[in-house]
Amino acid sequence: MAIWIEYRCENMNEPSAEGSHIRRCESLDNSGPMGMTAKDTREAVAVTLRILDEDAVNYGWKRTPAGWVCAFCAEQLGLK
């Protein structure tokens, strides 16, 4: 069994996520860190999560106490 993991922006349901037709919350466009592990072991999932954490940081996502926020929403919220 494979396990699919996708990070969703915690701000995606807020009005500030809407943005414009040019740029908006990445999760509204089903974009952002995502991946799959072919193994259904805890170790494989942990490795995938570490990779997704690195991807999120590289894409400009911010980790908050509530969870991950995409780069667009982080800007809207004033997160640096």
Name the stretches of the chain with pLDDT < 70.
none
What's the whole-model pTM score? 0.88
d(C-alpha 17, C-alpha 73), whole Å: 6
Residues contacting residue 51 through CB under 8 Å, at least 6 positions apart: 35
**Domain locations along the chain:** 3-76
The residue among 5, 3, 13 whose CA lies nearest residue 66 is 13
**How many residues are recorded in the chain?**
80
d(C-alpha 41, C-alpha 12), whole Å: 30
What are the tens digits of pLDDT across the range 16-30?
999 887 899 999 999
Maximum CA pair distance of the chain?
A: 41
